[in-house]
Amino acid sequence: MTQTLRLKKNADRRLKAGHLWLYSNEVDIEATPLKGLEPGAQVVVEAANGKAMGVAYVNPNSLICARVVSRDPNMRLDRSLLVHRFNQALSLRQRLYAKPFYRLVHGEGDLLPGLVVDRFDDVLVVQLNTLGMERLAEEVVAALDKVVSPRVIVFKNDSSGRRQEQLERQVTLAKGELDGPVLMEENGVRFHAPVLDGQKTGWFYDHRANRAWLNGLVAGKRVLDLFSYIGGWGVQAAAHGAREVLCVDASAQALERVAENAALNGLHEQVAVGEADAFEALSSLKADGEQFDVVILDPPAFIKKRKDIPNGERAYARLNREAMRLLGRDGLLLSASCSMHLAPERLVDVVRGAVRHQDRHGQIVYQGHQAADHPVHPAIPETAYLKALGVRVFRD
């Protein structure tokens, strides 16, 4: 017998509008005490009048106490529903991309809250970010086997979100064997992605379309790629004709991989690396009189929580100001943010302020967001997190 979760009066509005999350303050805890529910269990969600509205899994210890997995109260999230959802997700990606390198499952965007799957051909990297998904680990593997039949499945369960769900962080192999990076391709350029020990799943597919746009504008240019990670932007720029690329990152390990990825594409002569904090690198490059035609800013999220917004916006502002000082008379800035809490118009404000601070002119010539294999759920603004601005910065 499945337990129920009764909502307070009018607390079903967001659910009716299509949202998948329920907060603990929306639950009628007198009718259905949250503390009486087993963390990770599936429940039938009811409106205040007792009408069944769907099925969710719960975590009474989390602010988002329930995540809806189906609008049909008779359904359960099990292997069968996972197979159905994976097939739906796969059919979209196969329409979008000719080669099997993409995000296969994007959490709420694919109606599977708490689950991320990135595909590197026959290697799948899975993140179970919630307790409800963690409990289904075996079913996830079985369903992925049925739909994709990969050679290797990695559980990359080391995200910060797991701490909030009181889950331990670990990286394990759920299927097959793997002892190093995997070969993948994006925008016609090959990379070794460190799926076992790299950031997130080892690669950031979300900027694919933004990189493709920039690739068309770098031929013959001198390019600076800050927060380069393993060279997603910089190596692609070199492959598309950039005369010279400098990749800067604070991680020596990431920069070793930049060099490997440049060599993999026969570009080791065009790509140089520099190990440094981005802000320190900007000031020392300026002090050395260096100039670039294109500067790429793809920093980590400076704003993790709402309370970080003021400090985070100041950090974005400073970063963009300092980067613009390294552009020549007529340069191009690619300014990105993966902070969900930074509104797109605020990034425009950051760029506008930086342009004025340098007493230059700015023209926004490109506004990008996450690639189509990271679908946005129209009822959940949080699923639209990535922003990228292409800005021409010039003097009279």
**105-158 residue pLDDT tens:** 999 999 999 999 999 999 999 999 999 999 999 999 999 999 999 999 999 998
pTM recorded for the entire structure: 0.95
pLDDT in tens, 271-296: 999 999 999 999 999 999 999 999 99
Average pLDDT, the chain: 95
Catalytic residue among 115, 247, 333, 338: 338
Quick one: average pLDDT of 3-31?
94
pLDDT in tens, 40-73: 999 999 999 999 999 999 999 888 999 999 999 9
- pLDDT the model gives residue 163: 79
CB 258 within 8 A of CB 235: yes
State the number of CA atoms in the 13 A half-sphere of 130 facing the CB. Answer: 28
- Residue indicated by tokens 């929306």: 26
Query: What are 204's two structure tokens?
Result: 């950031």
- pLDDT the model gives residue 287: 97
In the predicted structure, residue 1 carries a pLDDT above the cut 70: no
Alpha-carbon distance of 145 to 151, in angstroms, equals: 9
In the chain, % of residues over pLDDT 90: 93
Going by their DSSP bridges, the two strands 361-369 and 182-186 should be labelled as: unpaired
- pLDDT the model gives residue 82: 98
**pLDDT tier at 366, thresholds 50, 70, 90:** very high
Helix axes 309-324, 278-287, angle to 10 degrees: 30
Higher-confidence residue of 164 and 152: namely 152
In the chain, % of residues over pLDDT 70: 100
For 240-271, letters b (16+ CB in 10 Å) and e give bebebbbbbbebeebbebbbbbbebbebeebb
- pLDDT the model gives residue 165: 80
Alpha-carbon distance of 148 to 380, in angstroms, equals: 28
Alpha-carbon distance of 373 to 386, in angstroms, equals: 13
Q: Find the helix or strand (DSSP H, E) in which 141 lies.
A: helix 137-147
- pLDDT the model gives residue 253: 96
- pLDDT the model gives residue 166: 80
- pLDDT the model gives residue 63: 85
Using DSSP's 3-state secondary structure scheme, residue 393 falls into: strand
- pLDDT the model gives residue 243: 98
Asked if 65 is an active-site residue, the reply is no
Strand ranges (DSSP E) for 71-221?
101-106, 115-120, 123-128, 152-157, 170-175, 182-186, 189-193
Which amino acid belongs to residue 298? D
